[in-house]
């Protein structure tokens, strides 16, 4: 059955997610397919008509990569200004609670991909 999936190839959306993750400094193979699909679903749900889909996906990938890599590795792959921007988004999401950024941070946390430095800063209530 899985052989049939290879016949058709990866979806355009998953290819776009892989490219966005690469641009954010994160090799796509490090992110499970289920997590990529969830990022795409959250991205689509939060669609903003003022930004192109690619720009919005890049922004989501940037924050997710920051959460996964931590500040130092993120700077190595991007820049200090990109890290500062991601840091501001992280801080705002922690305060605001309900946003795409907050959902991306929770996704990184619940998937076990979040960097320890970032995980220590967030307070996730356990049921």
Task: List, in order, residues 6 or more apart from 15 with CB less than 8 Å away.
Answer: none
Residue 77 CB contacts under 8 Å (≥ 6 apart), including other chains: 24, 25, 26, 65, 69
> For residue 122, what pLDDT is reported?
83
pLDDT at 101: 93
Using N-to-C axis directions, what is the helix angle for 80-96 and 100-110, rounded to 10°? 100
What pLDDT, on the 0 to 100 scale, is given for residue 127? Answer: 43
Residue 6 is predicted with a pLDDT of 56
Tracing tokens 């076990």 back to the chain, one arrives at 112
pLDDT per residue, tens digit, the chain (127 aa), is 455 555 667 788 899 999 999 999 999 999 999 999 999 999 888 766 455 688 889 999 999 999 999 999 999 999 999 999 999 999 999 888 888 999 999 999 999 999 999 999 886 655 4
Q: Where are the domains of the chain?
A: 12-119
């Amino acid at each position: 059955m899985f052989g049939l999936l290879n016949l058709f190839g990866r979806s355009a959306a998953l290819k776009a997610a892989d490219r966005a993750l690469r641009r954010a400094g994160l090799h796509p193979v490090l992110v499970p397919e289920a997590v990529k699909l969830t990022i795409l679903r959250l991205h689509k749900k939060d669609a903003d008509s003022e930004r192109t889909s690619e720009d919005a996906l890049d922004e989501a990938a940037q924050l997710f990569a920051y959460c996964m890599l931590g500040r130092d590795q993120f700077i190595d792959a991007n820049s200090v200004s990109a890290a500062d921007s991601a840091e501001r988004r992280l801080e705002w999401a922690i305060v605001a609670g309900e946003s795409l950024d907050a959902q991306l941070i929770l996704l990184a946390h619940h998937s076990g991909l979040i960097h320890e430095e970032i995980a220590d800063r967030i307070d996730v209530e356990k049921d």
